[in-house]
Structure 1
Amino acid sequence: MVHQYKNNGYNIVLDVNSGAIHVVDDVSYDVIALYEDHTPEEIVAELSGTYSEAEVKEACEEVASLVKDGELFTKDEYENYIMDFKKRPTVVKALCLHIAHDCNLACRYCFAEEGEYHGHRELMSYEVGKKALDFLIANSGSRRNLEVDFFGGEPLMNWQVVKDLVKYGREQEKLHDKNFRFTLTTNGVLLNDEVMEFANKEMGNVVLSIDGRKEIHDHMRPFRNGKGSYDLIVPKFQQFAESRNQDKYYVRGTFTHYNLDFADDVLHLADLGFKQISVEPVVAEDSEEYALREEDLPKLFAEYDKLAAEMVERKKSGKDFNFFHFMIDLEGGPCVAKRLSGCGSGTEYLAVTPWGDFYPCHQFVGNEEFLMGNVWDGVKRTDIRDEFKCCNVYAKEKCRNCFARFYCSGGCAANSYHFHGNINDAYDIGCELQKKRIECAIMIKAAEAEMEVEG
């Protein structure tokens, strides 16, 4: 399978199954489009009005060489591999600890209902958190590196328990030959020097929530009294990012129907000095005024193109920054299992409520249909785990023939469920945006390669 597209002046050809990417001239681009279904003679005849016969013949020979070398029109060798997924032993490697089902903001798009997750406000106790870490260690098999994300609501509303659990985790590392990577997601309201110092010592990554320009952020992320939070958090986030040497963090925003010009929000964050940026599309039902709609897609595609082009220019001038959705590894990348099945929710990764219940991920919390067990009894609903084990790009009809499948790994199971009622479908608007991001990311890589050649 081959995917061809043009972006910001580049003719790009992706061989989906091998991952090989080619930046080609116009004649080669047009030859590749005809190659599978036409003989060389037919291709020459088809393109004779546009290019010379010699140009087309040379391009045909170059394409034939790439096919022979396994870099174009390669076969899919992974579909049979996926059949063994359900047989794999389940090894849990990451937990999302809902350390606080409470929040000091009232974000309009919050899927967690101001931290309550369709339930009640509650803070996780040290005892529940300790049992969760014990469960992770006991169910991690021979895997040494484990991850725990302190999530909410707002985790800093339960900061002492966060610190106590990190201390406990560090003690257990030595006893069980494990290595914990702790991460934290915060809205920044309670961020202070003590939190920053502790996080810089103990947190492998910190996510700082901000939506971009002041008017956009304050409209969607106010306090409960309606007052905006931008002016309070920006100086703290700038200080924190610098204290981490502009690494191992990212500012993370959400764009909605209200700011379809979201590239300006990304660039605003870059202009504030942030080097690690993620601004992601809201996921919401059409009934919500802020929801993204199908008719918004052309504008959003143009914004991604605009952002990608600007990032290339800033790279040339030494003012580059990383945009999470354009970060793509064309040489290494995730292992085959990850490419086929995604984040590992419900199997390798679980969310833990303040009272100790397990769910496949944070977006399923509160939906009793997906309650898998708890920190005392372990995973009891192995049928849910098995269903998630078999959630992969070949189980989804929309993914089987999609060029993006090995990059997005089938998309988000929670989004699929919320829009279609099962985890083996796909959220359509999300798919279209994902495909566009992948195209832009590859274009940026092509531009960077060109810059290296030019010196």
Structure 2
Amino acid sequence: MIHLYKSNGFNMVLDVNSGSVHVVDDCVYDVLSCMNEGKNAEEAAEALSSKYAEQDITEAREEIQELTDNGMLFTKDIYENAIDQFSNRPTVVKALCLHIAHDCNLACRYCFAEEGEYHGRRALMSLEVGKKALDFLIANSGSRRNLEVDFFGGEPLMNWDVVKQLVAYGREQEKLHNKNFRFTLTTNGVLLNDEVMEFCNKEMGNVVLSIDGRKEVHDHMRPFRKGAGSYDLIVPKFQKFAELRHQDKYYVRGTFTHYNTDFAADVLHLADLGFKQISVEPVVAPPTEDYAIREEDLPVIFEQYDILAREMIKREKEGRGFNFFHFMIDLTGGPCVYKRLSGCGSGTEYLAVTPWGDFYPCHQFVGQEDFCLGNVYEGVKKTETVNEFKKCNVYSKKECSQCFARFYCSGGCAANSYNFTGKINDVYEIGCKMQQKRIECALMIKAALAED
């Protein structure tokens, strides 16, 4: 299976199963296009005989044959036949999302957590529940040494003392059990101060700083409960924090909506503020919400990704480059096979923990009682639901099995699938189309920067 597309003046060819990426001339591109439509090489040559000289077509066919012989074009899928064995594999828990605070000091309009309440009540996680969660992670991690814990909310800084105590407890336990905790934190920045920054720089492997971009965009979607914007308060703090972290191991993370489909301007605004690690992602919301991304928004969104990709190339060549999370792609290493096939591992290797200790497949399922898997005191009890999540992979969905992007998106988000289709093992179509566009842009950027 190959995928062909044109982007920013490049003729791009992706061999899906091997991951090989090629930039080709017009003749090779057109021959491959014919072959991708079912024609053999001879039929393709005949179809293009009026457009190209015979010698050019012959050279194109020879180039294609050489790449095919070397396992870089039209390669076979070596994973599909092994997917049943993969789906039935024993799993270990490697990551927890600790909902340290079901409360928030902002009232973001698109928040799936309902100002931190998650369809329930406001609550802060106790030290006891947090310790039990870390004990569970250690006990269920098997021989895996590296474990991840994300402090999430609501707003985790509203329960800061417990965050610090849990990090200290984790450091004690990792010595006793030969484990290594990587702690991360997601914050809106309202309570961010020097003490928090100093602690995070010592203990947090990554920090996510929530900001949507331009002041008018951010303040419209991320106000305080009384309506005032939060942009002016958080930006200086975030700039200081990013510099203290040497512009590494953090992300400023934003959300774009129907109201700012020109989001490339928000990404570039954040870059102009000095941030080097940026993620601005599309909102996922029911179509009934006024801010939801709609099918008719997609042409503008695609154009914005193209604008952003071209500007990133320009800035990188000028020595002003920055990373955009959705354009980051590793063509030489990248995620392991398991992750390429099944994604984040929600419900199996990754669990969310509520303030009172209940387990859910991930933070987006919290509050939906049908997906409560157990708790920190009794462990995972709903194994039939876990087994359903284990079956989520790129071959269990017809759309994914036929998609060029499957080994980069890994089948998409189970929560998005459930929220839009009622099934965890389906696809969120609008999200798929945006993901495909991002991958095309990311590959083109690699080609453009490799030119030099």
Shorter-chain TM-score tier: over 0.9
Q: Distance in 1 between matches of 2:91 and 2:75?
A: 32
Where 2:279 maps in the other structure, the secondary structure is strand
Alignment match, 1:225: 226
- My pick for the range that moved more, 94-103 or 82-91, is 82-91
The alpha carbon displacement at 1:35 in A equals 2.6
Q: Deviations over 1:77-111 (max 9, x none)?
A: 11122111343222000000000000000000000
Alignment match, 1:94: 95
Alignment match, 2:55: 54
Alignment match, 2:293: 292
Alignment match, 1:390: 391
Q: Distance in 1 between matches of 2:91 and 2:339?
A: 14
The alpha carbon displacement at 1:18 in A equals 0.7
Alignment match, 1:4: 4
The alpha carbon displacement at 1:336 in A equals 0.8
Alignment match, 1:156: 157
Alignment match, 2:421: 420
Q: Distance in 1 between matches of 2:369 and 2:136?
A: 21
Alignment match, 2:31: 31
Q: Distance in 2 between matches of 1:93 and 1:173?
A: 14
| Structure 1 vs Structure 2 CA RMSD | 0.7
The answer to whether 1:407 aligns with 2:408 is yes
Matched residue type, 2:9:
G
The alpha carbon displacement at 1:230 in A equals 0.0
Q: Deviations over 1:264-291 (max 9, x none)?
A: 0000000000000000000001110000
Q: Deviations over 1:278-327 (max 9, x none)?
A: 00000001110000000000000000000000000000100000000000
Alignment match, 2:144: 143
Cα pair 1:40 1:57 within 8 Å, conserved: no
Q: Deviations over 1:316-368 (max 9, x none)?
A: 10000000000000111111111000000000000000000000000000000
Q: Deviations over 1:10-36 (max 9, x none)?
A: 000000011111000100000111235
The aligned runs of 1:83-122 (5 Å cut-off) are 83-122=84-123
The alpha carbon displacement at 1:39 in A equals 3.9
Where 1:445 maps in the other structure, the secondary structure is helix
Q: Deviations over 1:34-54 (max 9, x none)?
A: 235334433222112221110
- My pick for the range that moved more, 304-313 or 63-72, is 63-72
The alpha carbon displacement at 1:4 in A equals 0.2
Q: Flag structure 1 segments of 5+ consecutive residues without an equivalent.
A: none
Q: Flag structure 2 segments of 5+ consecutive residues without an equivalent.
A: none
The alpha carbon displacement at 1:139 in A equals 0.2
Matched residue type, 1:63:
I
Matched residue type, 2:147:
L
Q: Deviations over 1:394-446 (max 9, x none)?
A: 11111110000000000000000000000111001100000000000000000
Where 1:442 maps in the other structure, the secondary structure is helix
Q: Distance in 2 between matches of 1:233 and 1:40?
A: 59
- My pick for the range that moved more, 389-398 or 318-327, is 389-398
Q: Distance in 1 between matches of 2:63 and 2:144?
A: 45
Q: Distance in 2 between matches of 1:235 and 1:38?
A: 59
Alignment match, 2:179: 178
Alignment: residue pair count: 451
Where 2:34 maps in the other structure, the secondary structure is helix
Matched residue type, 1:373:
G
Q: Distance in 1 between matches of 2:209 and 2:154?
A: 13
Where 1:127 maps in the other structure, the secondary structure is helix
Q: Distance in 2 between matches of 1:12 and 1:414?
A: 32
Where 2:121 maps in the other structure, the secondary structure is coil
Where 2:209 maps in the other structure, the secondary structure is strand
Matched residue type, 1:238:
Q
The aligned runs of 1:296-335 (5 Å cut-off) are 296-335=297-336
Q: Distance in 1 between matches of 2:450 and 2:351?
A: 39
Matched residue type, 1:3:
H
Q: Distance in 2 between matches of 1:42 and 1:14?
A: 22
Matched residue type, 1:33:
S
Matched residue type, 2:31:
V
Matched residue type, 1:81:
A
The alpha carbon displacement at 1:448 in A equals 1.2
Q: Distance in 2 between matches of 1:192 and 1:136?
A: 30
Alignment match, 2:13: 13
The aligned runs of 1:60-99 (5 Å cut-off) are 60-99=61-100
Cα pair 1:327 1:441 within 8 Å, conserved: yes
Q: Distance in 2 between matches of 1:152 and 1:272?
A: 26
Q: Distance in 2 between matches of 1:124 and 1:270?
A: 35
Where 1:415 maps in the other structure, the secondary structure is helix
Where 1:200 maps in the other structure, the secondary structure is helix
The alpha carbon displacement at 1:179 in A equals 0.2
Runs of 4+ displaced beyond 4 Å: none
Cα pair 1:312 1:444 within 8 Å, conserved: yes
Q: Distance in 2 between matches of 1:33 and 1:210?
A: 42
Task: State the TM-score, normalized to the length of structure 2.
Answer: 0.99
The aligned runs of 1:132-281 (5 Å cut-off) are 132-281=133-282
The alpha carbon displacement at 1:75 in A equals 1.1
